[in-house]
Amino acid sequence: MNDDKIAGEGRDISGKIKETLGDVTGDTQLQGEGLVDQLGGKVQKIVGAARDALAVDGQPLVDRVRLFARERPWASAALLGVLGFAVFSSLRGRH
């Protein structure tokens, strides 16, 4: 579990508390703030989950790509060339 997931969970819980307090007191502004906090917490938890998904064996995807580029520079250059050509071709085809 990373910092984003933990912070997101805390924000979600505090949002639920605000919403409940707003319900009890009839304060619609506090209810709205609670809903916004809950939404922000859910988004932050999703970001944390995405980070965990991109990390394999504790090693982030970016680090693995850098290592691949160092170990296989010619294959990396060829791959970038093919990707660049594909993007250029797809953009060029649009009018």
Nearest residue to 69 (alpha-carbon basis) of 78, 60, 82: 78
Q: Quick one: pLDDT at residue 18?
A: 94
pTM of the model: 0.57
14 and 45 both lie in a single domain: yes
Number of domains in the chain: 2
Q: Quick one: pLDDT at residue 19?
A: 92
30 and 65 both lie in a single domain: no
Nearest residue to 1 (alpha-carbon basis) of 40, 48, 43, 63: 48
46 and 90 both lie in a single domain: no
Q: Quick one: pLDDT at residue 14?
A: 93
Which structural domain, as residue segments, surrounds residue 93? 58-95
21 and 34 both lie in a single domain: yes
State how far Cα 14 lies from the chain centre: 21
**95 pLDDT higher than 60:** no
What is the average pLDDT across 64-78?
Answer: 88
What is the average pLDDT across 35-64?
Answer: 80
The residue type of 30 is L
